[in-house]
Structure 1
Amino acid sequence: MSAPAPAVAAPVIGDGTTGRSRAISRWRRARWPLALVAIVLVVGLLAALPSPRTSTAALAPDNASANGARALAEVLREQGVEISYVRTSAEATELAARGTTLLVTNDSTLTDDQLEQIAGTEADLVLVDPVFALPPATSAAETAPGYEPEQVREALCGDTDALAAGTLLSGGSGFVALDGQATVCFPATGDASGAGAYLVVEGERRVTAFANGSVLTNASITAEGNAALALRALGRNDHLVWYVPSLSDSGEAASPPLGDLLPPWARALGLQLLLVAAVAGVWRARRLGRVVVEPLPVTVRSGEATRGRGRLYRRSRSYGHAAAALRAGVATRTSAQLGLPRSAPAPAVIDALARATGRTPDDVAALLYGPPPTDDNGLALLARTLDELESEVHRT
């Protein structure tokens, strides 16, 4: 039986290391930079992923909460309607051309100039609860006075869209027709004024108005015929400009922010660079060891330290700091003398000192918590008075 072959030793390089040891050493040196590069790549990949657009603005097409209108917007998109969501009147009037529909969800924050610009567009208008936007848009109808509670209403008109919806769950003030161009639908039960929650004015362009925005919300869009009426009113044209006014909308075209001028990848790159700088700072920062107790070359007496601090206060004219130190010392010592805890509130300290010294609470409060002195004489007088107060406590 032949003897086993001897193990072949790893070749030794001239500096005394082997290939394995050199590979391990290189890996130890490169592992942290490689880990940093991996983190940057992961962060960049996550930043490049599209994030869903959501908001909390009422009747916004990307708001999925109860007061939003995302459900209605998604169905319109499925039906082939292109939706342009804007927050300023300048963007709305720029996009509202002939053959498009302009939806204005709220007009309470718009100025007269903004209302005139919106009324002057050639697009079909759909107004929601129009408090101020209706008169500039049409003279064929007006807003009815009063407010009707939310209820189920019958169409009771000849408009095709209203008849297709049949019923509507809505409240609001309603509208009253002033001439034959206007059609008012869905009156409130028992309302003899003829006011309705839905208005249509036919002319060179179509003007539609809802008395209450709840008809379009996610919470109520499926109630009664709300969805049928909303889809017909907003889906008449292939392009819908969905205008939700913002509080910062001044009516003027705003210059684009710096972030919009940068390429899409600039923000992700900036975040990665900040992360690299933070990791590099943690990696290469100087490590502080444990606190080392070191003997002082000289011993400073407490009295000398107190006098030195007093000279510094006097030189810098820090009368307030000096007075605060004197008052805090007196309050601490007298409280301990009277058996009060260190956490005792100011009123308790004042009452205890007043009983112990016979002084009035106002005098004690002025001494311990009054305004700071403004000169040397005032500080000296305060020190003497505090000393007298403390001596009276000790006598008790």
Structure 2
Amino acid sequence: MTTEATLPSTSASPTARQVWTRTRGIVLAAVLLLAAAVAIAAVRSGERHGVLDPRAADPYGSRAVAELLADRGVSTRVVTTLDEARAAAGPDTTLLVAVPDLLTHGQQDALHSATADSGGRTVLVAPGGWSVERLAPGVVADPATSLDSALSPDCALPAARRAGSADTGGIRYTVTHPGSDECYPSERLPTLVRVPAASGDGDTVVLGAPDILYNDTLDKQGNASLALQLLGSRPHLVWYLPSLSDATAADPDEQRDLFDLLPSGWLWGTLQLFFAAGLAALWRARRLGPLVPEKLPVAIRASETVEGRARLYRKAGAHDRAANALRSTTRTRLAPLVGVPVAQAHAPEALLPALSAHLHDHGDGQTLHSLLFGPPPGDDAALVSLADQLDALEREVRRS
């Protein structure tokens, strides 16, 4: 009774445990980054719920200023569509546009046409370069924002002089419209601008930051005084909260680029991530320099190496490579035996005549050429037969 020995597995593929050990650091970092992003998004969304909404009592809402205006006889009405905002424009109305940059260019042109000669006041809250030039011609947003929040009025506008210092630091503007009031400058550029209408008693107020309208900061500096004076000059206040669901926002002739929709902070954050990734790549990259020999921790027998490579050849079906290795090694060993330099061992015109002469009657030139330089075998059986024939040829040359 015989027992068949089971050879140990020599697979070069990493196991699941090895893969997990190598990648667990990256996976853990990705999970932590994702969890931090979700947590920050949840906190920020919770903090900013109802931002600039006169009905919201949270820190970034504007319910406090609406109630103070109501105590002074100014009614506040919230609208969310462009048609309602245009219809409400009039000489006895102050129209506040909460987020002008959400309006498309078509909406901005329509809103400016409705308010330009209405005789009322239009208040634009923190308009950027996307909207301010259309809603307030002659005013251009500066790319650099103010680093200071609380600023001094430094202008002749009565409302600003009575309010004193206020948290208007935000977007700065360059003004070319004649007769405009430029207040609360930061590095010589104003953060609050009043542009008078070309005809009538109306005007447009450009406010560089929304801080004076927030519930959380209304009682700071002269914020409450400035907000009440800017919004309480008419008996009616229409608070326009632009909405993406507004039907007038769908303009087939106008397309905004993705970068126009992203805040500038996201672009700088992405650039910082790319910079950090580059530094991490340099840190983890291999050191450049000459190869350094290293002793193996254990001695590997030649038979194991041959067996491992043979299994790889068999798994890949590389009969041509295996046959080429066998023939090349045989030619290298036969060349010194028949008086041919090793450098010419792989040249048929040098090896075959010497080999035929050495074998005398046993050497057939055509057979030897097919055996030592022929085409690769087509299957495993032909490869085994080729190995046996090469072995027999070498034994015969050594014996003769």
TM-score normalized with structure 1 length: 0.47
Larger radius of gyration: 2
TM-score normalized with structure 2 length: 0.47
